[in-house]
Amino acid sequence: MKIIDSPGKRQTQQERYEKTRTLIYPDSGLASRELAAEVGELIRLRQAKGESVVLGLATGSTPVPFYRELIRLHREEGLGFGNVTTFNLDEYYGLAPDHRESYCQFMRDQLFDHIDIPRENINIPDGTVPLDRVYDSCLAYEAKIEAAGGLDIQILGIGRTGHIGFNEPGSSKDSITRMITLDRVTRKDAAADFLGEQNVPRFAVTMGVGTILKARRLVLMAWGENKAEIVREAVEGEVTDQVSASFLQEHDNATFLIDTAAASRLTRRSYPWLVGSVSWDDAMTRRAVVWLAKKLEKPVLKVIEEEYNETGVGELLTAAGPAYQVNIGVFNQLQHTITGWPGGKPGADDSNRPERAQPHPKRVLIFSPEPHDAFVGMGGTIDRLVEQGHEVRIATQTSGNLRVSDVAAYKFASVVREMAEIIGGQGWEGQLSYANDIIGQLEDKGEFGLDPDRVRKLKGLILRGEARDAARVCGVGDEALRFLDMPFYEAGRYRRFNLTDADVSIMRDLLGDYQPHQIYLTGDVADPSSLQALCFRAFEQALPEDGWLDGCRVWLYRGKEAPLAAHEIDMAVPMSPDQLALKSQSLRKFQSINADELETPERNRETAREYDRLGMAEYEGIEAFQRWRRSK
């Protein structure tokens, strides 16, 4: 399908709630390849005519696969960038071009250093202009875009505040390039890059909404579940300055390219019965009835015939009615997801239980992309699995060392130094020199410098210690923990990780050695360049075709992403107040991780409240899981 030069608003019945053209792709790779092919075609077309192309570019995780594909086209298919001029959307204010988190540096790393674009054709807002000259410098940026002939295509990502560029809520439709204060949510999202929210710049220079809308063509990409809600608001909601991406609705050549996870909240995906005819299997029926009950704020069993008809779900009654029968069917479906026996209940009839009774005990393998993820997502369930006699192993896929603050490393090194000085003496020289070395390296690199290997290693070990403590709270001993330290993470940085064969083979070995009956993991709907998504991909690639896998069930938990909604849950493990308290206790062991990251058991309480509102039993908390099946 042609993305570029396609008419802005051509719609099917299915898309009728969407006010900007939206193409949904199975994954970000395919979408990025198609976009890169189209951009490449435009570049070649103009080259043939001796004309130039002006591209507006974005930074962040989203365009990374697109840039990788442009680089591939350059290397393997001879695409030249001699006739290309680029203008980037934005830059953090106060960061020098060679700062490792500056967008200048990002663009060099991700694209410019790998293609033959003339350096003088690259334009990025200047984040170092003194305050009293920012305004003039912004005007000059606008003028330069004009002088280049205007933007042919502007590539965009979308922030969770709905920003394009850094046009945070409140940016007007005709705003131009200017300095802006970054929203709290945006700074939180950048916290991992800057090793803590406190280090994220407060200001940025950004093209305005008006500058962006002047581009002849706009392509906004979004990947992963975390973007689903804001994509829905931007595409289906009102045009408002509270969501600057909603202004794309008023552009006559704008397209959203999104993956299935980012599309999950669009009407055509969430409520397909509102836009066409659907096949009413169990999953679709559950989805519709849960939606209806929530909308009416009633338990499932109290929804009546008229309410089905008045809300556009009447067709379901024709297919499977009457209402009480459909309601009971869904009630039972929900009821059967609830189990206090996540590993299966030995000796019980398991025909309506999420997990098989046999074998018992099971070999259970829990993957945690960063050391804390598994405890955030399923701390209570870990405790139950252990208590119910299963052989639980937790494999921490990455060391998570980039998460650990300098302060934590400094604290450890100072304790070692002091020990060596106070109780040491002869034989402690090694420890003393190690501690001094770490302290020296921390001081040399400064707040934003890259951690030298030794410091990174120490930070990883600190987190290991915390993971051991957390695991012990959940009943898992040290011998049951595996620290995989996958190489892609050790060699990379946030947003710039690359999965390798070595990573996959570590996973393959572990799976082959342990041959689990049950696996728990996360990352299936994460932003594809996040380490959680890469860990998930490594798992998929490491799986054998058959053998032990035939006797294994795979369960997905949610870490950072939006919690599973009631209609998506295949297994709901209820938690008592005491179990929830135990989970909090295990999470508190991760002292070197920002508390904000450890989304506390409030999410589990909310899932329990959702079940309660639908008419299920009232629990203190619920940890929710979805069954994973390999797609054919």
Q: Which residues are catalytic?
A: 168
Residues in 134-193 at the binding interface with ligand F6R, rule: CB under 6 A: 157-159, 163-166
Asked if 181 and 203 touch (Cβ cutoff 8 Å), the reply is: yes
* Shortest distance in whole angstroms from residue 396 CB to ligand F6R: 25
Residues 566-605 that bind ligand F6R (CB under 6 A): none
Q: Give, in degrees to the nearest 5, the angle at Cα 572 between 567 and 578.
A: 140
Query: What is the closest distance, in whole angstroms, from the C-beta atom of residue 145 to ligand F6R in the complex?
Result: 15
Residue window 434-463: x/- pattern of binding to ligand F6R, with contact defined by CB under 6 A: ------------------------------
By rule CB under 6 A, what count of residues binds ligand F6R? Answer: 14
Helix axes 577-587, 453-473, angle to 10 degrees: 160
Q: Which of 61, 154, 327, 522 binds ligand F6R (CB under 6 A)?
A: 61
Which CB atom, from 234 or from 303, has the smaller least distance to ligand F6R? 234
Residue type, 137: S
Largest CA distance in the chain: 86
Amino acid letter, residue 491: A
Minimum CB distance to ligand F6R smaller for 89 or for 261: 89
Residue 89 Cβ vs ligand F6R, minimum distance, rounded to whole Å: 4
As measured in angstroms, the least distance from the Cβ of 171 to ligand F6R is: 11
Residue nearest to ligand F6R (CB): 157
395 in contact with ligand F6R (CB under 6 A): no
Q: How far is the CB of 103 from ligand F6R (least distance, A)?
A: 6
Report which of 331, 459, 311, 443 is spatially closest to residue 399, judged by C-alpha positions.
459
Smallest gap, in angstroms, from Cβ of residue 159 to ligand F6R?
Answer: 4
* 608 in Cβ contact with 622 (< 8 Å): yes
**Cα–Cα distance measured from residue 289 to residue 299, given in angstroms and rounded to the nearest whole number:** 10
Nearer to ligand F6R, 208 or 371 (CB): 208
Does 60 contact ligand F6R by CB under 6 A? yes
Contact 303, 289 (CB under 8 A): yes
Q: 344-376 burial by CB neighbour count: b if 16+ within 10 A, else e?
A: bbeeeebeebbbbbeebebbbbbbbbbbbbbbb
Task: Name the residue nearer to ligand F6R (CB basis): 245 or 293.
Answer: 245
Q: How far apart are CA 61 and CA 163, in angstroms?
A: 15
Backbone angles phi and psi of 173, in degrees to 5: -65, -30
Q: Per CB under 6 A, does 59 bind ligand F6R?
A: yes
Q: Closest separation between CB of residue 101 and ligand F6R, Å? A: 12
Q: Measured from the CB atom, is 88 or 253 closer to ligand F6R?
A: 88
Which one of 52-60, 66-74, 356-364, 537-545 is the stretch in contact with ligand F6R (CB under 6 A)?
52-60
CA distance 593 to 463: 8
Q: 42 to each of 46, 54, 83, 151, how far by Cα in Å?
A: 6, 10, 11, 13
If the CB atoms of residues 62 and 396 are measured against ligand F6R, the closer one turns out to be 62
89 within 8 A of 206, measured Cβ to Cβ: yes
Chain positions 87 to 116 lying near ligand F6R, rule: CB under 6 A, are: 89-90
Burial class (CB in 10 A: 0-12, 13-18, 19+), 198: exposed
Of 166 and 520, the one with the shorter C-beta distance to ligand F6R is 166
Q: Which range in 59-67, 92-100, 563-571, 596-604 contacts ligand F6R by CB under 6 A? A: 59-67
Residue ranges that bind ligand F6R, judged by CB under 6 A = 58-62, 89-90, 157-159, 163-166
